[in-house]
Amino acid sequence: MKSRKKQQLAIDMIGRFFVERKKVLTQSEYSSLAKQPIMGSHIRVIFGGYPQMLSLLEKSKYWSEINKPVPKAPTPATKKPAAVKPAIAAKLGKDDE
């Protein structure tokens, strides 16, 4: 199997893995996982290193799915308090009578 074909298969596996996680892991986070789609040592053999793998992943179809902006929850509309007459004006009006 040619190296380009191996790289594409590996990018597909890693891309789907990162889409499930909804984020791109750093090299240390990826290496510390118990279950990886491709072992960390094989990434160095296939791609030449983790940064090169990330650069190919950025060009793949999975990159836009991984970095989708999370929609923000709508904030509840705040009600403005009704216009309240000042208490001083109410007292002055009662004292005049």
Cα 47 from Cα 4, distance rounded (Å): 9
Q: How high is the pLDDT of residue 16?
A: 92
Q: How high is the pLDDT of residue 64?
A: 84
Question: Would the pTM of this model clear 0.85, i.e. be above it?
Answer: no
Q: Quick one: pLDDT band at residue 14, thresholds 50, 70, 90?
A: very high
Q: How high is the pLDDT of residue 90?
A: 60
The string of pLDDT tens digits covering residues 28-87 is 898 888 888 888 888 888 998 989 998 999 998 888 888 776 666 666 667 666 665 666
Any residues with CB less than 8 A from the CB of 12 and at least 6 apart, and which? 60, 62
